[in-house]
A and B are shown apart, each in its own frame.
Chain A
Amino acid sequence: MEHYNMNLTVKVWRQKNSRAQGNFENYSVKNISSEMSFLEMIDVLNEELIVEGKEPIAFDHDCREGICGQCSMYINGKPHGPWQANTTCQLHMRAFKDGDTIVVEPWRSAAFPVIKDLMVDRSAFDRIVQAGGFISVNTGNAVDGNSLPINKDAADASFAAAMCIGCGACVAACKNSSAMLFLSAKVAHLALLPQGEPERKSRVMNMVAQMDKEGFGACTNTGACEATCPKEISISNIARLNHEYLRASLTAEK
């Protein structure tokens, strides 16, 4: 693979804190290698800002290998940037060319208030999980792991949904800021397993109620979430969620 260096203009959203008014700032960065990751490019820019006595850009990141779900930014209007099935931290600079201008913003959703610059508060996701995204089994109660065979297809489908990293790109991509893909992935993960059966109805009802309370918008099936999801969580999970919700509303005893 050919490597090259590039000079870029980076237009970044700067916002002091949740109460402050934010605005875009332009920065130019030079000699960026195509082998760098996108966040390493921001590291280079931050290093320069510090040396110049300015405040570096605050952004969330941790594992830098696409699994913790902490990195979260629009890059040129797209959550996690131009590559398919990718997180910001795994985006590499060979996606850009010399002279490009790159626009970087934090997630935009009423349910994800900005904390500073590119950092947002995603604790709404934790509260949705608290509402029912679990199986109630205290430690020590389990039977032998092989006592209950699970059909491989169901186990694989459950795993495919459980791969969600909770980054919030689905919300960021949705014109309604809907959290349906996130929520449906959790509901599907647990509903597909026999262990999830006892709480199947209450789980979906409670999680949906919490989602509505957090101020996420409604789903209008445009599919932007699926197209953006770094883990390619399928929109068919939303169909399953609707099915589970309807089933629970019609049959739940309450």
Chain B
Amino acid sequence: MLDAKIPSGPLDIKWTEYKGHCKLVNPANKRKLEVIVVGTGLAGASAAATLGELGYKVKAFCFQDSPRRAHSIAAQGGINAAKNYQNDGDSVFRLFYDTIKGGDYRAREANVHRLSEVSGNIIDQCVAQGVPFAREYGGLLSNRSFGGTQVQRTFYAAGQTGQQLLIGAYQALERQVALGNVKMYSRHEMLEVVKIDGKARGIIARDLVNGKLERHFGHAVLLCTGGYGNVFYLSTNAMGSNVTAAWKAHKNGAAFANPCFTQIHPTCIPVSGDHQSKLTLMSESLRNDGRIWVPKKKGETRKATDIPEEERDYYLERRYPAFGNLVPRDVASRAAKERCDEGYGVGTSKQAVYLDFADAIVRYGKIEAGKEGKPDMSMEEIIVLGKEVVKEKYGNLFDMYEKITGENPYEVPMRIYPAVHYTMGGLWVDYELQTSVPGLYALGEANFSDHGANRLGASALMQGLADGYFVIPYTLGNNLAEEIYSKAIETSHPAFEAAEKEVASRIEKLMGVRGKQSVESFHKRLGKIMWEKCGMARNKEGLQQAIREIQELKKEFWNDVRIPGSIDEMNPELDKANRVADFLELGELMCQDAYNRNESCGGHFREDFQTPDGEALRDDSNYMYVAAWEYKGEHEWTLHKEPLVYDVVKPTQRSYK
């Protein structure tokens, strides 16, 4: 069933060869071909804009009030590219290798190499669009480091890189809207894929303002709908981020790959209470300068600033001297959990560690003092200068921290704890980003393809834009070349009618429950099960238990959920209910996948599979495959295994020591 369609030939020329031989669609024919793009984050906006530029007739959809709001906007730290502007040994191969290793050898070599090859083009394209990246005094682009690498290849715009890249893509998209090549549907949510003769031929979308269902035809459908981290309720995702579009595709035949591969980000602001609605990330870029520590004494009660240097445990520097505070996210998260579980946690909840900038402030202050030719400046003056430098680098993040916690991180160390941030799993796609349903594609975080079991920092933005700007324009053409004889199908076709009816009856069923408990309360309970049993650490018994609990919760949801208001109006509770209903099904599959994978790799940590020193214990002989699940019916899936073949990289135990 699963053919990844990886081109033959040596790894470093696969993509060149593919581009040289893929089929093309001539401009006159492109005008007749309609493409639906769902989601307008980095992947969706870049794909919609680029396909519009090429001349396809594009319809783009987003549930937010404007395409500029998609959650890519919240990405903070940066975007990787193998430019080697720093002359520090970077190359396409090095970025490829770091990404494969960072993913704990669970990603496809060919996809990752392509990603690395186009990474430089992304930076060029964004600069040309007017993305104001950080620059050095000579006017050239600036770089910084991110976790899991030993070179400086991350491009950034202060702590708002995602915002700036998304605005670049959004502006390119709006330009195509103005030119009439793209029609934009904001405040619309996709609720079903329409299949005709086995191919994806359109969608059913709901206009969220008036509740009306709409039918839209497309010769192809692109899902650029992001990840499913909100299955955990608390995550760094936006409140509206959801799995619904991908899940509808899954139930319509698209395989879902590696659903249990979830990224827990090590540096987030800790939970403050039961009222918490979401978690906020503190960018990984902070680990360039911040040092992570806990007290050496259990149950320490002194303030952080009163604990002397020799009584602090900089546990990442101690355990991983080669990478120190810049180990990959999965490693850093587990190490924080280990310290807190052992009783060394800080703050009122004791579920936090310190991220401390005091050293960096002094270091930068001394450099500034040197620049000013005043080497004998007092420590107070040095600290003032150092704070200015730190402010320029991370000012917006420090402000955000202070607004949320009420503490000033220039004076006291930040308290941080890991939180759900990204999902490496997603819809299974082949090399062309096509799902197992012909004509249906998945781009960006919505697919599973490039990050294996753990994503490196600053690589999500890279992948979203690679897929949208530089991959799909070629691979879509290769398939649409076959469609130039297919006329647009009228939306009065019985398949559209049936799909719309299905959606309508599902919504009526939801509204008809008229139970007692709110959608939010179910979502919170699901999140708790997922976090406790399918979160940072998993085990066999816990996962079995979680599956039972989720099945029960789903039953209860469909018997007792209360959705006020009516169908034919703006009804955010109904929108949320649609999404939570799908999360309840996805959660079960995630636990099933985690249960099936009897090994630890990347973000998937099974307590029953670890090395004596607590590192992930992979099982390459039995689990070096992509787990692609086919939906068979309620609580039923068939597992398809796509073997992962490493021609170039030799998988070893990942070490950052």
Contact = CB atoms under 8 A, between A and B. Distances in A.
Interface string A104-141: 00000000000110010111011001110111111111
A61 interface: yes
B273 A35 contact: yes
B572 A92 contact: no
A64 B124 contact: no
Contacts of A144: 124
A145 B137 CA distance: 16
A55 B132 contact: no
Interface in A167-198: 189-190, 193, 195-196
Contact of B66 (A36, A66, A122, A146): A122
B564 A130 contact: no
Contacts, number: 221
Interface in B106-165: 120-121, 123-130, 132-141, 157-158, 160, 163-164
B564 A56 contact: yes
A13 interface: no
A67 B564 contact: no
Interface residues of A, number: 80
Given A33-B275, A155-B132, A149 B138 contact: yes
Interface in A1-39: 1, 16-17, 33, 35-37, 39
Interface residues of B, number: 85
Nearest to A87: B403
B129 A126 contact: no
B139 A149 contact: yes
A189 B178 CA distance: 20
B497 interface: no
A65 B280 contact: yes
B276 interface: yes
A193 B240 CA distance: 34
A115 B570 contact: yes
A86 interface: yes
Nearest to A32: B275
Contact of A189 (B83, B125, B130): B130
Nearest to A192: B132
Contacts of B130: 135, 158, 189-190, 193, 195-196
B124 A162 contact: no
A163 B163 contact: yes
A159 B573 contact: no
A140 B129 CA distance: 11
A137 B128 contact: yes
B96 to A, nearest CB: 20
A140 B163 CA distance: 22
A47 B562 CA distance: 11
A198 B160 CA distance: 27
Contacts of A254: none
B29 interface: no
B53 interface: yes
Interface stretch (B294-302, B404-412, B444-452, B538-546): B404-412
A150 interface: yes
Which of B128, B236, B278, B518: most chain A Cβ within 10 A? B128
B438 to A, nearest CB: 25
B124 A55 contact: no
A220 interface: no
Interface string B74-86: 1000000001010
Contacts of A212: none
Contacts of B557: none
A66 B406 contact: no
Contacts of A237: none
B73 A63 contact: yes
Contact of B404 (A90, A126, A142): A90
B180 to A, nearest CB: 11
A116 B574 CA distance: 15
B575 to A, nearest CB: 10
B178 A62 contact: no
Nearest to A130: B178
Contact of B518 (A50, A92, A126, A163): A50
Nearest to A64: B278
A92 B404 contact: yes
B141 A139 contact: no
Contacts of A86: 403
B277 interface: yes
A115 B133 CA distance: 36
B440 to A, nearest CB: 23
Contacts of A100: none
B570 A116 contact: yes
B597 interface: no
B320 to A, nearest CB: 29
B222 interface: no
A134 B473 CA distance: 21
Contact of A50 (B66, B403, B564): B564
A243 to B, nearest CB: 19
A56 B125 CA distance: 44
A117 to B, nearest CB: 9
Contacts of A49: 564
B50 to A, nearest CB: 4
Contacts of B473: 139
Contacts of B135: 149-150, 152, 155-156
Nearest to B470: A139
A142 B125 contact: yes
Contacts of A228: none
A139 B518 contact: no
Contacts of B598: none
27 contacts: A1-B405, A17-B570, A36-B275, A40-B275, A40-B277, A60-B65, A62-B71, A62-B239, A63-B238, A64-B278, A65-B281, A67-B163, A83-B403, A122-B65, A126-B186, A135-B130, A139-B125, A139-B469, A140-B121, A142-B128, A150-B135, A151-B139, A158-B132, A159-B134, A159-B164, A162-B167, A195-B127
Interface of B: 46, 49-50, 53, 64-71, 73-74, 83, 85, 120-121, 123-130, 132-141, 157-158, 160, 163-164, 167, 170-172, 174-175, 177-178, 184, 186, 209, 236, 238-240, 272-273, 275-278, 280-281, 399-400, 403-407, 469-470, 473, 516, 518, 520-521, 562, 564-565, 569-570, 572-573
Given A65-B236, A85-B399, A137-B172, 20 more contacts: A16-B569, A17-B569, A35-B275, A62-B239, A62-B240, A63-B239, A65-B280, A69-B69, A129-B170, A133-B174, A134-B175, A139-B125, A139-B473, A145-B83, A145-B127, A146-B85, A152-B135, A152-B136, A165-B163, A166-B66
- 10 tightest A-B CB contacts, nearest first: A149-B139, A134-B171, A142-B128, A159-B132, A142-B124, A130-B178, A1-B406, A145-B127, A62-B238, A139-B50
Interface of A: 1, 16-17, 33, 35-37, 39-40, 43-44, 47, 49-51, 53-56, 58, 60-70, 83, 85-86, 90, 92, 94, 115-116, 119, 121-123, 125-126, 129-131, 133-146, 148-152, 155-156, 158-159, 162-163, 165-166, 189-190, 193, 195-196
